[in-house]
Amino acid sequence: MDDKELDREKMPYLSSAGLRVLLIMRKSVKDSNCFKIFHIQPEVEKILKMTGFDMLLP
């Protein structure tokens, strides 16, 4: 599958449904370096760290 990029600049919140979408997107690429999230808002970054998703996503 092709590289995936996700710009979170205008999304200040991430729900559990959003976490599931991130997991599905991450699993759709073979190389974790092909999936990038940028412009992460502080609250979203906090959610990613609390749930351990920061370890799954580069």
What pLDDT digit, counting tens, does each position of 41-58 carry? 999 999 999 999 888 776
Q: Are strands 4-7 and 35-38 parallel, antiparallel or unpaired?
A: parallel
Instruction: Report the Cα–Cα distance between both ends of the chain, in Å, rounded.
Output: 17
What local confidence, expressed as pLDDT, does residue 19 receive? 92
DSSP codes, 6-22: EE-TT-----HHHHHHH
What are the C-alpha distances in Å from 14 to residues 1, 4, 37, 46, 48?
24, 18, 13, 10, 9
**Amino acid letter, 54:** D
Read off the pTM: 0.74
In tens, the pLDDT along 20-37 reads 998 888 888 877 778 888
Q: How far apart are alpha carbons 45 and 13 in whole angstroms?
A: 10
